[in-house]
Structure 1
Protein backbone atom coordinates (compact mmCIF):
# COMPACT_ATOMS: atom_id res chain seq x y z
CA UNK A 1 0.00 0.00 0.00
CA UNK A 2 1.23 3.49 -0.87
CA UNK A 3 0.79 5.80 2.10
CA UNK A 4 1.51 9.08 0.30
CA UNK A 5 -1.90 10.62 -0.29
CA UNK A 6 -3.73 7.85 1.60
CA UNK A 7 -6.54 8.70 4.02
CA UNK A 8 -6.48 6.94 7.40
CA UNK A 9 -8.36 6.79 10.67
CA UNK A 10 -6.49 5.84 13.85
CA UNK A 11 -8.42 5.11 17.03
CA UNK A 12 -6.95 5.35 20.50
CA UNK A 13 -4.70 8.02 19.03
CA UNK A 14 -4.44 10.28 22.06
CA UNK A 15 -1.32 8.56 23.36
CA UNK A 16 0.82 5.45 23.17
CA UNK A 17 0.85 3.21 20.12
CA UNK A 18 -2.06 5.00 18.46
CA UNK A 19 -0.38 8.40 18.72
CA UNK A 20 2.88 6.98 17.38
CA UNK A 21 1.16 5.26 14.44
CA UNK A 22 -0.77 8.43 13.61
CA UNK A 23 2.41 10.50 13.58
CA UNK A 24 4.24 7.89 11.49
CA UNK A 25 1.42 7.78 8.95
CA UNK A 26 1.44 11.55 8.53
CA UNK A 27 5.22 11.49 8.23
CA UNK A 28 4.75 8.94 5.44
CA UNK A 29 2.42 11.33 3.59
CA UNK A 30 -1.01 10.15 4.73
CA UNK A 31 -3.88 12.35 5.92
CA UNK A 32 -5.13 11.02 9.25
CA UNK A 33 -8.21 11.42 11.42
CA UNK A 34 -7.17 10.87 15.05
CA UNK A 35 -9.86 9.54 17.37
CA UNK A 36 -9.82 9.18 21.15
CA UNK A 37 -12.02 9.53 24.22
CA UNK A 38 -9.53 12.13 25.48
CA UNK A 39 -10.43 15.05 23.25
CA UNK A 40 -7.80 17.36 24.70
CA UNK A 41 -4.99 14.85 24.17
CA UNK A 42 -5.92 14.02 20.60
CA UNK A 43 -6.43 17.68 19.70
CA UNK A 44 -3.02 18.59 21.08
CA UNK A 45 -1.45 15.75 19.13
CA UNK A 46 -3.12 16.80 15.88
CA UNK A 47 -1.91 20.36 16.38
CA UNK A 48 1.64 19.13 17.03
CA UNK A 49 1.63 16.81 14.01
CA UNK A 50 0.34 19.55 11.72
CA UNK A 51 2.93 22.03 12.97
CA UNK A 52 5.70 19.49 12.41
CA UNK A 53 4.39 18.71 8.92
CA UNK A 54 4.38 22.38 7.94
CA UNK A 55 7.86 22.94 9.32
CA UNK A 56 9.19 19.85 7.52
CA UNK A 57 7.21 20.63 4.35
CA UNK A 58 5.44 17.26 4.44
CA UNK A 59 2.11 16.71 2.68
CA UNK A 60 0.30 14.74 5.43
CA UNK A 61 -2.25 16.38 7.71
CA UNK A 62 -4.07 15.41 10.90
CA UNK A 63 -7.59 16.08 12.17
CA UNK A 64 -8.74 15.30 15.73
CA UNK A 65 -12.11 13.84 16.73
CA UNK A 66 -13.36 12.79 20.16
CA UNK A 67 -15.66 9.92 20.98
CA UNK A 68 -16.17 6.31 21.97
CA UNK A 69 -14.95 4.36 18.93
CA UNK A 70 -16.96 1.29 19.89
CA UNK A 71 -20.10 3.33 19.10
CA UNK A 72 -21.17 2.90 15.49
CA UNK A 73 -22.48 6.47 15.35
CA UNK A 74 -19.02 7.73 16.33
CA UNK A 75 -17.42 5.48 13.73
CA UNK A 76 -19.79 6.86 11.10
CA UNK A 77 -18.82 10.39 12.12
CA UNK A 78 -15.10 9.59 11.85
CA UNK A 79 -15.65 8.27 8.33
CA UNK A 80 -17.72 11.34 7.43
CA UNK A 81 -15.05 13.72 8.74
CA UNK A 82 -12.30 11.87 6.89
CA UNK A 83 -14.29 11.91 3.65
CA UNK A 84 -15.16 15.61 4.00
CA UNK A 85 -11.69 16.78 5.01
CA UNK A 86 -9.45 14.43 3.04
CA UNK A 87 -11.36 11.94 0.89
CA UNK A 88 -12.51 8.31 1.11
CA UNK A 89 -10.89 6.24 3.86
CA UNK A 90 -8.14 3.90 2.62
CA UNK A 91 -6.85 2.62 5.97
CA UNK A 92 -8.53 2.05 9.33
CA UNK A 93 -6.32 1.43 12.36
CA UNK A 94 -8.47 -0.14 15.10
CA UNK A 95 -6.09 0.57 17.94
CA UNK A 96 -8.18 1.63 20.95
CA UNK A 97 -7.98 -0.88 23.79
CA UNK A 98 -8.92 -1.41 27.41
CA UNK A 99 -7.74 -3.47 30.38
CA UNK A 100 -11.20 -3.48 31.99
CA UNK A 101 -11.62 -6.53 34.22
CA UNK A 102 -9.03 -8.95 35.51
CA UNK A 103 -9.90 -12.31 37.04
CA UNK A 104 -12.86 -14.65 37.00
CA UNK A 105 -14.66 -12.28 39.34
CA UNK A 106 -14.75 -9.60 36.63
CA UNK A 107 -18.32 -8.34 36.56
CA UNK A 108 -20.67 -8.01 33.60
CA UNK A 109 -19.81 -4.34 33.16
CA UNK A 110 -16.09 -5.13 32.82
CA UNK A 111 -16.79 -7.90 30.30
CA UNK A 112 -19.05 -5.58 28.32
CA UNK A 113 -16.43 -2.82 28.22
CA UNK A 114 -13.65 -5.21 27.23
CA UNK A 115 -15.74 -6.82 24.51
CA UNK A 116 -17.04 -3.55 23.11
CA UNK A 117 -13.65 -1.81 22.92
CA UNK A 118 -11.29 -4.70 22.15
CA UNK A 119 -13.53 -6.50 19.66
CA UNK A 120 -16.82 -4.92 18.64
CA UNK A 121 -15.17 -1.60 17.80
CA UNK A 122 -13.26 -3.53 15.11
CA UNK A 123 -16.36 -5.35 13.88
CA UNK A 124 -18.40 -2.15 13.60
CA UNK A 125 -15.64 -0.29 11.77
CA UNK A 126 -15.23 -3.12 9.28
CA UNK A 127 -18.99 -3.32 8.80
CA UNK A 128 -19.03 0.38 7.93
CA UNK A 129 -16.03 0.34 5.59
CA UNK A 130 -15.54 -3.04 3.94
CA UNK A 131 -18.51 -2.93 1.53
CA UNK A 132 -17.23 0.34 0.09
CA UNK A 133 -13.70 -1.00 -0.09
CA UNK A 134 -14.90 -4.06 -1.97
CA UNK A 135 -16.68 -1.79 -4.45
CA UNK A 136 -13.47 0.24 -4.90
CA UNK A 137 -11.33 -2.88 -5.07
CA UNK A 138 -8.99 -1.78 -2.26
CA UNK A 139 -8.82 -0.97 1.43
CA UNK A 140 -6.73 -1.72 4.49
CA UNK A 141 -7.75 -2.74 8.01
CA UNK A 142 -5.14 -2.83 10.76
CA UNK A 143 -6.13 -4.37 14.08
CA UNK A 144 -4.13 -3.73 17.22
CA UNK A 145 -4.56 -6.95 19.16
CA UNK A 146 -1.76 -8.20 21.43
CA UNK A 147 0.61 -11.09 21.96
CA UNK A 148 -2.08 -12.05 24.49
CA UNK A 149 -4.33 -12.75 21.51
CA UNK A 150 -1.89 -15.39 20.25
CA UNK A 151 -0.73 -16.69 23.63
CA UNK A 152 -2.64 -15.59 26.73
CA UNK A 153 -2.57 -12.89 29.40
CA UNK A 154 -1.67 -14.17 32.84
CA UNK A 155 -3.76 -12.26 35.36
CA UNK A 156 -6.52 -11.01 33.03
CA UNK A 157 -9.18 -13.23 31.54
CA UNK A 158 -11.05 -10.30 29.94
CA UNK A 159 -7.99 -9.03 28.10
CA UNK A 160 -6.88 -12.48 26.99
CA UNK A 161 -10.27 -13.54 25.66
CA UNK A 162 -11.11 -10.31 23.85
CA UNK A 163 -7.66 -10.04 22.27
CA UNK A 164 -7.97 -13.65 21.05
CA UNK A 165 -11.27 -12.56 19.52
CA UNK A 166 -9.63 -9.55 17.86
CA UNK A 167 -7.01 -11.80 16.26
CA UNK A 168 -9.74 -14.19 15.12
CA UNK A 169 -11.73 -11.37 13.56
CA UNK A 170 -8.68 -10.03 11.73
CA UNK A 171 -7.92 -13.52 10.40
CA UNK A 172 -11.49 -13.88 9.17
CA UNK A 173 -11.39 -10.52 7.41
CA UNK A 174 -8.13 -11.42 5.68
CA UNK A 175 -9.45 -14.78 4.49
CA UNK A 176 -12.88 -13.55 3.47
CA UNK A 177 -11.97 -10.33 1.67
CA UNK A 178 -8.36 -10.79 0.57
CA UNK A 179 -9.43 -11.71 -2.95
CA UNK A 180 -11.45 -8.48 -3.10
CA UNK A 181 -8.39 -6.28 -2.64
CA UNK A 182 -8.76 -5.82 1.11
CA UNK A 183 -5.50 -6.10 3.04
CA UNK A 184 -5.45 -6.84 6.77
CA UNK A 185 -2.70 -6.60 9.37
CA UNK A 186 -2.85 -7.70 12.99
CA UNK A 187 -0.45 -6.05 15.43
CA UNK A 188 0.48 -8.31 18.36
CA UNK A 189 3.11 -6.73 20.63
CA UNK A 190 4.11 -7.76 24.13
CA UNK A 191 5.24 -4.94 26.42
CA UNK A 192 5.05 -1.38 25.11
CA UNK A 193 5.67 1.70 27.25
CA UNK A 194 2.10 3.02 27.28
CA UNK A 195 -0.50 4.10 29.81
CA UNK A 196 -2.40 0.89 29.10
CA UNK A 197 0.50 -1.07 30.56
CA UNK A 198 1.74 1.42 33.13
CA UNK A 199 -1.59 2.55 34.56
CA UNK A 200 -3.91 -0.17 33.29
CA UNK A 201 -2.43 -3.47 34.31
CA UNK A 202 -0.01 -1.90 36.77
CA UNK A 203 -2.70 -0.06 38.69
CA UNK A 204 -3.89 -0.60 42.25
CA UNK A 205 -6.48 -3.26 41.44
CA UNK A 206 -6.03 -6.68 43.05
CA UNK A 207 -4.07 -8.87 40.63
CA UNK A 208 -3.14 -6.02 38.28
CA UNK A 209 0.54 -6.09 39.19
CA UNK A 210 0.68 -9.80 38.30
CA UNK A 211 -0.68 -9.08 34.83
CA UNK A 212 1.79 -6.23 34.36
CA UNK A 213 4.74 -8.34 35.50
CA UNK A 214 3.74 -11.15 33.14
CA UNK A 215 4.24 -8.67 30.30
CA UNK A 216 7.28 -6.73 31.47
CA UNK A 217 9.29 -9.79 32.51
CA UNK A 218 8.60 -11.70 29.30
CA UNK A 219 10.71 -9.44 27.09
CA UNK A 220 11.86 -5.93 26.30
CA UNK A 221 9.37 -3.12 26.84
CA UNK A 222 9.45 -1.17 23.56
CA UNK A 223 8.70 2.48 22.94
CA UNK A 224 5.56 3.28 20.88
CA UNK A 225 7.66 4.86 18.11
CA UNK A 226 9.54 1.57 17.63
CA UNK A 227 6.22 -0.24 17.18
CA UNK A 228 4.91 2.40 14.78
CA UNK A 229 8.00 2.05 12.58
CA UNK A 230 7.34 -1.68 12.25
CA UNK A 231 3.67 -1.03 11.51
CA UNK A 232 4.58 1.24 8.60
CA UNK A 233 6.90 -1.46 7.22
CA UNK A 234 4.16 -4.10 7.57
CA UNK A 235 1.63 -1.91 5.75
CA UNK A 236 4.11 -1.44 2.93
CA UNK A 237 4.51 -5.21 2.68
CA UNK A 238 0.80 -5.90 3.34
CA UNK A 239 1.94 -8.39 5.96
CA UNK A 240 -0.75 -9.91 8.18
CA UNK A 241 1.06 -10.62 11.44
CA UNK A 242 3.04 -7.72 12.91
CA UNK A 243 5.27 -8.88 15.77
CA UNK A 244 7.39 -6.13 17.34
CA UNK A 245 8.72 -8.83 19.70
CA UNK A 246 9.95 -11.59 17.32
CA UNK A 247 10.11 -14.16 20.13
CA UNK A 248 6.31 -14.21 20.18
CA UNK A 249 6.38 -16.28 16.99
CA UNK A 250 8.60 -18.90 18.66
CA UNK A 251 6.26 -18.98 21.66
CA UNK A 252 3.27 -19.36 19.36
CA UNK A 253 4.92 -22.21 17.49
CA UNK A 254 5.71 -23.99 20.76
CA UNK A 255 2.13 -23.53 21.84
CA UNK A 256 0.81 -25.07 18.62
CA UNK A 257 3.28 -27.95 18.59
CA UNK A 258 2.46 -29.17 22.12
CA UNK A 259 -0.44 -27.43 23.82
CA UNK A 260 -0.20 -29.38 27.08
CA UNK A 261 3.50 -28.64 27.43
CA UNK A 262 2.89 -24.96 26.71
CA UNK A 263 0.12 -24.73 29.33
CA UNK A 264 2.38 -26.44 31.88
CA UNK A 265 5.12 -23.93 31.07
CA UNK A 266 2.74 -21.00 31.48
CA UNK A 267 1.61 -22.36 34.83
CA UNK A 268 5.24 -22.53 35.95
CA UNK A 269 5.75 -18.94 34.79
CA UNK A 270 2.65 -17.85 36.70
CA UNK A 271 3.91 -19.56 39.88
CA UNK A 272 7.22 -17.74 39.52
CA UNK A 273 5.45 -14.41 39.12
CA UNK A 274 3.19 -15.04 42.11
CA UNK A 275 6.18 -15.99 44.25
CA UNK A 276 7.84 -12.73 43.27
CA UNK A 277 4.75 -10.85 44.40
CA UNK A 278 4.86 -12.41 47.86
Structure 2
Protein backbone atom coordinates (compact mmCIF):
# COMPACT_ATOMS: atom_id res chain seq x y z
CA UNK A 1 0.00 0.00 0.00
CA UNK A 2 1.26 3.44 -0.91
CA UNK A 3 1.07 5.98 1.92
CA UNK A 4 2.45 8.93 -0.03
CA UNK A 5 -0.78 10.89 0.52
CA UNK A 6 -1.00 10.05 4.22
CA UNK A 7 0.19 11.66 7.44
CA UNK A 8 0.92 9.25 10.28
CA UNK A 9 1.28 10.23 13.94
CA UNK A 10 3.00 7.86 16.38
CA UNK A 11 3.22 8.23 20.16
CA UNK A 12 6.19 6.71 21.93
CA UNK A 13 7.91 6.97 18.58
CA UNK A 14 11.50 7.75 19.56
CA UNK A 15 12.67 4.17 20.03
CA UNK A 16 11.72 0.51 20.00
CA UNK A 17 8.40 -0.46 18.45
CA UNK A 18 7.31 3.14 17.95
CA UNK A 19 10.41 4.04 15.98
CA UNK A 20 10.09 0.90 13.86
CA UNK A 21 6.47 1.77 13.08
CA UNK A 22 7.47 5.30 12.11
CA UNK A 23 10.21 3.93 9.86
CA UNK A 24 7.80 1.39 8.36
CA UNK A 25 5.34 4.07 7.33
CA UNK A 26 8.15 6.30 6.07
CA UNK A 27 9.32 3.45 3.83
CA UNK A 28 5.81 3.34 2.38
CA UNK A 29 5.96 7.04 1.52
CA UNK A 30 4.07 8.56 4.47
CA UNK A 31 4.79 11.83 6.18
CA UNK A 32 5.36 10.96 9.83
CA UNK A 33 5.14 12.82 13.12
CA UNK A 34 6.47 11.21 16.29
CA UNK A 35 5.88 12.22 19.89
CA UNK A 36 7.73 10.92 22.92
CA UNK A 37 8.78 11.99 26.39
CA UNK A 38 12.43 11.84 25.39
CA UNK A 39 14.35 11.82 22.12
CA UNK A 40 11.55 12.61 19.68
CA UNK A 41 13.37 15.44 17.93
CA UNK A 42 16.62 13.47 17.61
CA UNK A 43 14.89 10.38 16.20
CA UNK A 44 12.81 12.52 13.86
CA UNK A 45 15.97 14.13 12.48
CA UNK A 46 17.49 10.69 11.89
CA UNK A 47 14.52 9.23 10.02
CA UNK A 48 13.19 12.34 8.28
CA UNK A 49 10.10 12.88 10.41
CA UNK A 50 8.60 15.64 12.54
CA UNK A 51 9.36 15.23 16.25
CA UNK A 52 7.80 16.72 19.36
CA UNK A 53 8.12 16.12 23.09
CA UNK A 54 4.88 14.50 24.20
CA UNK A 55 3.43 13.24 27.48
CA UNK A 56 0.32 11.19 26.71
CA UNK A 57 -0.98 11.69 30.25
CA UNK A 58 -1.61 15.33 29.29
CA UNK A 59 -4.53 15.71 26.87
CA UNK A 60 -3.54 19.27 25.98
CA UNK A 61 -0.14 18.05 24.79
CA UNK A 62 -1.79 15.48 22.52
CA UNK A 63 -3.87 18.24 20.97
CA UNK A 64 -0.77 20.38 20.43
CA UNK A 65 1.03 17.40 18.90
CA UNK A 66 -1.79 16.97 16.38
CA UNK A 67 -2.00 20.70 15.73
CA UNK A 68 1.71 20.84 14.90
CA UNK A 69 1.61 17.70 12.78
CA UNK A 70 -1.36 18.92 10.74
CA UNK A 71 0.02 22.44 10.37
CA UNK A 72 3.35 21.19 9.01
CA UNK A 73 2.46 17.92 7.29
CA UNK A 74 -1.29 17.88 6.62
CA UNK A 75 -4.34 16.04 8.00
CA UNK A 76 -3.49 13.00 10.10
CA UNK A 77 -5.09 9.90 8.59
CA UNK A 78 -3.30 7.26 10.70
CA UNK A 79 -2.73 7.57 14.44
CA UNK A 80 -0.68 4.96 16.30
CA UNK A 81 -1.11 4.99 20.08
CA UNK A 82 2.10 3.19 20.98
CA UNK A 83 3.31 4.83 24.21
CA UNK A 84 3.29 2.30 27.05
CA UNK A 85 5.02 1.39 30.29
CA UNK A 86 5.73 -1.84 32.16
CA UNK A 87 5.57 -1.92 35.94
CA UNK A 88 6.47 -5.29 37.50
CA UNK A 89 5.05 -6.65 40.75
CA UNK A 90 7.12 -6.46 43.91
CA UNK A 91 10.05 -8.90 44.36
CA UNK A 92 7.88 -11.29 46.37
CA UNK A 93 5.80 -11.93 43.23
CA UNK A 94 2.71 -10.63 45.00
CA UNK A 95 0.13 -9.73 42.32
CA UNK A 96 -1.35 -7.15 44.69
CA UNK A 97 2.05 -5.88 45.73
CA UNK A 98 2.47 -3.06 43.23
CA UNK A 99 1.90 0.37 44.74
CA UNK A 100 -1.11 2.55 44.00
CA UNK A 101 1.18 4.89 42.06
CA UNK A 102 2.50 2.05 39.91
CA UNK A 103 -1.06 0.99 39.12
CA UNK A 104 -2.11 4.56 38.40
CA UNK A 105 0.94 5.23 36.20
CA UNK A 106 0.18 2.09 34.19
CA UNK A 107 -3.45 3.10 33.77
CA UNK A 108 -2.64 6.69 32.81
CA UNK A 109 -0.23 5.66 30.03
CA UNK A 110 -1.43 2.25 28.82
CA UNK A 111 -5.15 3.00 28.86
CA UNK A 112 -5.83 6.71 29.15
CA UNK A 113 -3.03 7.57 26.73
CA UNK A 114 -5.02 5.74 24.07
CA UNK A 115 -8.34 7.17 25.25
CA UNK A 116 -7.05 10.73 25.18
CA UNK A 117 -5.46 10.18 21.78
CA UNK A 118 -8.70 8.85 20.31
CA UNK A 119 -10.65 11.69 21.85
CA UNK A 120 -8.26 14.17 20.22
CA UNK A 121 -7.87 12.66 16.76
CA UNK A 122 -11.25 11.10 15.91
CA UNK A 123 -13.14 14.44 15.71
CA UNK A 124 -10.54 15.50 13.14
CA UNK A 125 -10.80 12.28 11.14
CA UNK A 126 -14.57 11.91 11.12
CA UNK A 127 -15.42 14.93 8.90
CA UNK A 128 -12.80 13.68 6.41
CA UNK A 129 -14.49 10.30 6.10
CA UNK A 130 -12.49 8.39 8.71
CA UNK A 131 -9.00 7.08 9.22
CA UNK A 132 -6.96 4.48 11.06
CA UNK A 133 -6.45 4.33 14.81
CA UNK A 134 -3.99 1.70 16.02
CA UNK A 135 -3.31 0.74 19.62
CA UNK A 136 -0.11 -1.11 20.42
CA UNK A 137 -1.27 -3.29 23.30
CA UNK A 138 0.39 -6.64 24.03
CA UNK A 139 -0.26 -10.35 24.06
CA UNK A 140 -0.54 -9.69 27.79
CA UNK A 141 -3.78 -7.93 26.94
CA UNK A 142 -5.18 -11.15 25.47
CA UNK A 143 -3.45 -13.65 27.76
CA UNK A 144 -1.44 -12.41 30.74
CA UNK A 145 2.03 -11.44 31.92
CA UNK A 146 3.40 -13.26 34.94
CA UNK A 147 5.00 -10.88 37.42
CA UNK A 148 3.29 -7.78 36.00
CA UNK A 149 -0.30 -7.59 37.17
CA UNK A 150 -0.80 -3.87 36.47
CA UNK A 151 0.63 -4.29 32.98
CA UNK A 152 -1.65 -7.26 32.30
CA UNK A 153 -4.76 -5.50 33.60
CA UNK A 154 -4.15 -2.26 31.74
CA UNK A 155 -3.25 -4.00 28.50
CA UNK A 156 -6.51 -5.98 28.75
CA UNK A 157 -8.27 -2.65 29.19
CA UNK A 158 -6.46 -1.26 26.13
CA UNK A 159 -7.64 -4.20 24.01
CA UNK A 160 -11.20 -3.71 25.25
CA UNK A 161 -11.04 0.00 24.45
CA UNK A 162 -9.81 -0.79 20.94
CA UNK A 163 -12.77 -3.15 20.49
CA UNK A 164 -15.15 -0.45 21.73
CA UNK A 165 -13.76 2.03 19.21
CA UNK A 166 -14.14 -0.49 16.38
CA UNK A 167 -17.71 -1.32 17.36
CA UNK A 168 -18.80 2.27 17.91
CA UNK A 169 -17.09 4.04 15.02
CA UNK A 170 -16.40 1.34 12.44
CA UNK A 171 -19.53 2.24 10.47
CA UNK A 172 -18.37 5.86 10.43
CA UNK A 173 -15.09 5.08 8.69
CA UNK A 174 -12.71 4.40 11.57
CA UNK A 175 -10.49 1.35 11.08
CA UNK A 176 -9.10 0.13 14.39
CA UNK A 177 -6.09 -2.15 14.69
CA UNK A 178 -4.92 -3.64 17.98
CA UNK A 179 -1.31 -4.85 17.98
CA UNK A 180 -0.58 -7.68 20.43
CA UNK A 181 2.99 -9.02 20.31
CA UNK A 182 4.68 -11.27 22.81
CA UNK A 183 8.38 -10.58 23.47
CA UNK A 184 9.95 -7.87 21.30
CA UNK A 185 13.63 -6.94 21.33
CA UNK A 186 13.26 -3.57 23.05
CA UNK A 187 14.29 -1.95 26.32
CA UNK A 188 11.11 -3.36 27.90
CA UNK A 189 12.57 -6.88 28.14
CA UNK A 190 15.80 -5.42 29.55
CA UNK A 191 18.72 -7.81 29.72
CA UNK A 192 16.55 -10.92 29.51
CA UNK A 193 18.09 -13.34 27.05
CA UNK A 194 14.92 -15.32 26.47
CA UNK A 195 12.18 -12.76 27.09
CA UNK A 196 10.76 -14.62 30.08
CA UNK A 197 7.29 -16.11 29.71
CA UNK A 198 6.58 -13.63 26.89
CA UNK A 199 9.52 -15.12 24.97
CA UNK A 200 8.16 -18.66 24.90
CA UNK A 201 7.65 -18.36 21.14
CA UNK A 202 10.79 -16.37 20.48
CA UNK A 203 11.73 -12.71 20.50
CA UNK A 204 10.76 -10.72 17.40
CA UNK A 205 12.30 -7.48 16.18
CA UNK A 206 10.46 -4.14 16.37
CA UNK A 207 10.35 -4.14 12.56
CA UNK A 208 8.32 -7.37 12.71
CA UNK A 209 5.72 -5.58 14.80
CA UNK A 210 5.61 -2.72 12.31
CA UNK A 211 5.16 -5.20 9.45
CA UNK A 212 2.28 -6.88 11.29
CA UNK A 213 0.56 -3.54 11.81
CA UNK A 214 0.94 -2.54 8.17
CA UNK A 215 -0.39 -5.93 7.03
CA UNK A 216 -3.41 -5.70 9.31
CA UNK A 217 -4.28 -2.22 8.04
CA UNK A 218 -4.10 -3.43 4.45
CA UNK A 219 -6.03 -6.64 5.13
CA UNK A 220 -8.65 -4.92 7.32
CA UNK A 221 -7.87 -7.09 10.34
CA UNK A 222 -8.55 -5.88 13.87
CA UNK A 223 -5.74 -7.87 15.50
CA UNK A 224 -2.11 -7.61 14.44
CA UNK A 225 -0.24 -10.61 15.82
CA UNK A 226 3.53 -10.68 15.24
CA UNK A 227 3.39 -14.03 17.08
CA UNK A 228 0.54 -15.88 15.29
CA UNK A 229 0.37 -18.51 18.04
CA UNK A 230 -1.30 -15.96 20.29
CA UNK A 231 -4.61 -16.55 18.50
CA UNK A 232 -4.57 -20.22 19.46
CA UNK A 233 -3.56 -19.41 23.03
CA UNK A 234 -6.41 -16.94 23.37
CA UNK A 235 -8.88 -19.54 22.11
CA UNK A 236 -7.58 -22.07 24.63
CA UNK A 237 -7.79 -19.53 27.44
CA UNK A 238 -11.41 -18.76 26.53
CA UNK A 239 -12.58 -22.37 26.26
CA UNK A 240 -10.45 -24.08 28.91
CA UNK A 241 -9.87 -21.42 31.54
CA UNK A 242 -8.96 -23.76 34.40
CA UNK A 243 -6.40 -25.57 32.25
CA UNK A 244 -4.98 -22.22 31.16
CA UNK A 245 -4.59 -20.96 34.72
CA UNK A 246 -2.98 -24.24 35.74
CA UNK A 247 -0.48 -23.95 32.92
CA UNK A 248 0.36 -20.37 33.87
CA UNK A 249 0.89 -21.45 37.49
CA UNK A 250 3.37 -24.03 36.24
CA UNK A 251 5.23 -21.36 34.25
CA UNK A 252 5.29 -19.13 37.32
CA UNK A 253 6.78 -21.88 39.50
CA UNK A 254 9.45 -22.46 36.88
CA UNK A 255 10.27 -18.75 36.68
CA UNK A 256 10.41 -18.24 40.43
CA UNK A 257 12.66 -21.27 40.77
CA UNK A 258 14.98 -20.13 37.97
CA UNK A 259 15.16 -16.42 38.79
CA UNK A 260 13.38 -15.64 42.00
CA UNK A 261 12.18 -12.33 40.55
CA UNK A 262 9.58 -11.02 38.11
CA UNK A 263 10.57 -10.87 34.46
State the TM-score bracket (shorter-chain normalisation).
Answer: over 0.9
Q: Contact between 1:119 and 1:165, CA under 8 Å: does it hold in 2?
A: yes
Q: How far does residue 109 in structure 1 lie from its aligned partner after superposition?
A: 1.1
| Compared CA separation, residues 33 and 228, structure 1 to 2 (3 A) | same
Over the residues paired in the alignment, what is the CA RMSD in angstroms?
1.7
The superposition leaves residues 199-243 of structure 1 with CA deviations (integer Å, 9 ceiling, x where unpaired) of 6xx6xxxxxx9x952222x11101111211221111222211000
SS in 2 for 1:21: helix
Aligned to 1:53: none
Is 1:95 aligned with 2:82? yes
Is 1:18 aligned with 2:10? no
Aligned to 2:228: 246
SS in 2 for 1:29: coil
Aligned to 1:170: 162
SS in 2 for 1:90: strand
Q: How does 1:14-163 map to 2 (within 5 A)?
A: 14-38=14-38, 41-50=39-48, 62-102=49-89, 103-163=95-155
Q: How far does residue 3 in structure 1 lie from its aligned partner after superposition?
A: 2.0
Q: Give the total of aligned pairs.
A: 255
**Gap regions ≥5 residues in structure 2:** 90-94
Q: Contact between 1:101 and 1:111, CA under 8 Å: does it hold in 2?
A: no
What is the alpha-carbon distance in structure 2 between the residues aligned to residue 197 and residue 119 of structure 1? 20
Aligned to 2:92: none
**Gap regions ≥5 residues in structure 1:** 51-61, 203-208
Q: How far does residue 258 in structure 1 lie from its aligned partner after superposition?
A: 1.1
Q: Contact between 1:2 and 1:236, CA under 8 Å: does it hold in 2?
A: no
* TM-score, length-scaled by structure 2: 0.92
Aligned to 1:205: none
Q: How far does residue 2 in structure 1 lie from its aligned partner after superposition?
A: 5.2
| Compared CA separation, residues 13 and 176, structure 1 to 2 (3 A) | same
Aligned to 2:203: 221
SS in 1 for 2:184: coil
What is the alpha-carbon distance in structure 2 between the residues aligned to residue 258 and residue 166 of structure 1? 23
Aligned to 1:255: 237
Q: Contact between 2:2 and 2:28, CA under 8 Å: does it hold in 1?
A: no
